Amino acid sequence: MTMTTKSVPKSKSPSHFQRFRDSYLWYSFKSDRTAQLCLAVFICLVVAAFAAPLIAPTDPYDLRQIDIMASELPPFWVDGADERYSLGTDAQGRDLWSIILYGTRVSLLIGFGAVILQALLGVTFGLMAGYLGGRVDAFFMRLADIQLSFSTLMVAIVVGAVVKATMGSSFYSQYAVLMLVLIIGLAEWPQYARTVRASVLAEKNKEYVDAARVMGLRSKRIMFRHVLPNTLSPIFVISTVQIANAIISEAALSFLGLGMPETHPSLGSLIKAGFDYIQSGSWWITLIPGAVLVVLVLSINLLGDWLRDVMNPRLYKG
């Protein structure tokens, strides 16, 4: 490392891009076909999902573009397909290709939103519990234990029922994305808090933290500027796993009818909607969104696996 930096001209530090090119992360990525493939698939899905209004031939949220007479049309490789609908249509006559694009967007939004919320809560609580210790630690960790004793599903059912009962069903469907982000985010923050706390406990006894304290820095600054950057690797690793988990949780909730409404379906609610027609031969309504979900989650999980291997301090220290 010293050798490579020495070859860089004096007084000019390597740029961030240069540093990334020299890093072990990039080296490992270049030599790992699975990671490359997964990243490519994942990026394709994300781009397609967020460019859905541009790519999709129809707007499934617009009722005027839906033709109920064209419902349950099969995809193009099956007899009786309509060339307007490449992947066929669902029971309401919506173009399956369009609705999958839009549904993937909803699933990804909920997945990322929930993980951001989890990370914000979990990292803050975990940092405070680990660094401040004592009663703060006991409080947050007992809170995490309590939280973990409720499953995500149970929290969702309770919150969904309470909100639907008090605010009405239409209110719930209007803010369904937000509600799901809140439910999945609140239910899973202990994962982050525990991981962060564990690495903070290891970091806070190192001498650079003592040096920062001797300098007179406030606890908040030491936590966020000194300790947090050194606990980032495990945070990255669990983030990938948690995004996949959140997407799966959302799909499960939607499948049970606790998630996204039919009018703004996610991948999960598409699978659920199609499930009623699988016996009547319209397998594509449920199987194609299901396949997309599997590919999406699998690519994220494999990326997470690769990242965990790369960032495992026992395999590579850096």
Partner 1 sequence: MNTQASAMAEHHIPAENVEEAQTLLQICDLKKRFSLSGDFLDQLRFKGGKLVRHQEHVHAINGVNLEIMRGEALCVVGESGCGKSTVARTVMGLITPSEGEIHYDGQRIDHLSSRQLLPYRKRMQMIFQNPYASLNPRMTIQQTLEEPLRLHHPTWNRQQIADKVEEVMGSVGIDPDWGKRFGHEFSGGQRQRIAIARALAVDPEFIVADEPISALDVSIQAQVLNLLMEAQHARNLTYLFITHDLAVVEHFGTRVAVMYLGTVCEIATTSTLFAKPRHPYTQALLSSIPRLEDDRPQHIRLKGEVPTPVNLPSGCVFHGRCPYANARCIQEIPPLKMQDDGTRVACHAVEEGRL
Residue number with CB closer to partner 1 (211 or 291): 211
- Min dist. Cβ of residue 107 to partner 1 (A): 34
The residues, any chain, with a CB within 8 Å of residue 171's CB and separated by 6 or more, are 163
Residue number with CB closer to partner 1 (179 or 209): 209
The encoded tokens of residue 160 equal: 């969904």
- Min dist. Cβ of residue 138 to partner 1 (A): 8
Interacting residues with partner 1 between 13 and 32 (CB under 8 A) = 13
Interacting residues with partner 1 between 153 and 182 (CB under 8 A) = none
261 phi, psi to nearest 5 deg: -75, 160
- Min dist. Cβ of residue 238 to partner 1 (A): 19
| Contact with partner 1 (CB under 8 A) among 39, 230, 262, 287 | 230
239 phi, psi to nearest 5 deg: -60, -45
| Contact with partner 1 (CB under 8 A) among 53, 168, 257, 318 | 318
259 phi, psi to nearest 5 deg: -110, -130
Q: Please tell me the distance from the alpha carbon of residue 201 to that of residue 203, in angstroms, as a whole number.
A: 6
Regarding 279 and contact with partner 1 (CB under 8 A), the answer is no
Terminal-to-terminal C-alpha distance of the chain:
11
- Min dist. Cβ of residue 139 to partner 1 (A): 13
| Contact with partner 1 (CB under 8 A) among 123, 226, 240, 244 | 226
Regarding 229 and contact with partner 1 (CB under 8 A), the answer is yes
Q: Please tell me the distance from the alpha carbon of residue 126 to that of residue 148, in angstroms, as a whole number.
A: 15
- Min dist. Cβ of residue 101 to partner 1 (A): 39
Regarding 80 and contact with partner 1 (CB under 8 A), the answer is no
Residue number with CB closer to partner 1 (80 or 216): 216
Task: Count CA atoms within 13 Å of residue 126 on its CB side.
Answer: 28
The residues, any chain, with a CB within 8 Å of residue 162's CB and separated by 6 or more, are none
Q: Please tell me the distance from the alpha carbon of residue 243 to that of residue 99, in angstroms, as a whole number.
A: 21
Segment interacting with partner 1, rule: CB under 8 A, options 4-12, 124-132, 142-150, 296-304: 4-12
Q: Determine the size of the site formed for partner 1 (CB under 8 A).
A: 24
Interacting residues with partner 1 between 120 and 149 (CB under 8 A) = 138
223 DSSP assignment: I
The encoded tokens of residue 130 equal: 């680990």
At 89 the three-state DSSP class reads strand
- Min dist. Cβ of residue 6 to partner 1 (A): 9
Residue number with CB closer to partner 1 (113 or 126): 126
Q: Please tell me the distance from the alpha carbon of residue 168 to that of residue 166, in angstroms, as a whole number.
A: 6
| Torsion of the alpha carbons at 152, 156, 158 and 159, rounded to the nearest 10 | 130
Interacting residues with partner 1 between 185 and 224 (CB under 8 A) = 206-208, 210-219
Residue number with CB closer to partner 1 (5 or 151): 5
Other Cβ atoms less than 10 A from the Cβ of 202: the count is 14
Torsion sign over Cα 266, 269, 271, 274: negative
Tell me which residues touch partner 1 (CB under 8 A): 1-2, 5, 10-11, 13, 138, 206-208, 210-219, 226, 229-230, 318
